[in-house]
Amino acid sequence: MSAARPPSAAGPPRPGPLAWTLIVAGTATMLWAVIGVFVEAEQSNPRNWLGWVLGAALVHDLVLLPCVLAVGAAIVFVPGRAKRAWLRWGLAVASVITLATFPVAMRWGASPTDPSELPLPVARNLAVMWAVVVPGALIVGALVDRRREGTHR
Q: Where are the domains of the chain?
A: 17-77, 78-153
Residue among 94, 96, 100 nearest 128 (CA): 94
Report in angstroms the alpha-carbon separations of 117 from 68, 71, 109, 120, 135: 33, 35, 9, 9, 32
pLDDT per residue of the chain (153 residues) written in tens, 0 to 9: 455 555 556 678 889 999 999 999 999 999 999 999 999 988 888 888 889 889 999 999 999 999 999 999 999 999 999 999 999 999 999 999 998 988 888 877 777 777 666 677 888 999 999 999 999 999 999 999 998 887 665
